[in-house]
Amino acid sequence: MKRFLAVFLLFSGCIVACSEFIEYPLEKKSVNLIAPMDSVKTQDEVVSFYWERHEDADKYRLQVATPNFEAVQKIVIDTVTTMDHLNLTVKPGDYTWRVRPQNAGSVGLFTSRQLTILPSLK
């Protein structure tokens, strides 16, 4: 009985310790975008991008392109962050922004939105 208990405790400890190193697959996972809303038009050139955290992600890839990712004229930003938000200054124009969850073992699906920055009225 003592041997069974020792093996059980060893196995249980290994499971708990190993779970911290397991990276769960994200291939079919995405994040919910919070702000800015889709197709927003604003004169604010400083944009705060927000998304929900994903429980299995330890970082996120944020990309912003003009005018969109199907006909890219310019990639404004392509960055990886551990945060669930990022502030960015962008010039007037039409943009598409997208975010995907990532971990050391896999990457998820991008979720995209449109954004228009209008020229300021001065």
pLDDT band, very low/low/confident/very high, at 106 (cuts 50, 70, 90): very high
Integer Cα distance of 53 and 83 in angstroms: 8
Residue 8 in any domain: the answer is no
Q: What digits encode the pLDDT tens for the residues 58-93?
A: 999 999 999 999 999 999 999 999 999 999 999 999
Residue 70 in any domain: the answer is yes
Domain count, the chain: 1
Residue 4 in any domain: the answer is no
In contact, 79 and 94? CB cutoff 8 Å: no
CATH classification at residue 80: 2.60.40.10
- The set of residues, in sequence order, having a beta carbon less than 8 Å from that of 99 and lying 6+ positions away, is 31, 33, 49, 51, 60, 61, 62, 63, 110, 111
Residue 76 in any domain: the answer is yes
The predicted model scores a pTM of: 0.80
Domain extent at residue 101: 25-117
Residue 1 in any domain: the answer is no
Q: What are phi and psi of 92, to 5 degrees?
A: -55, 140
Residue 52 in any domain: the answer is yes
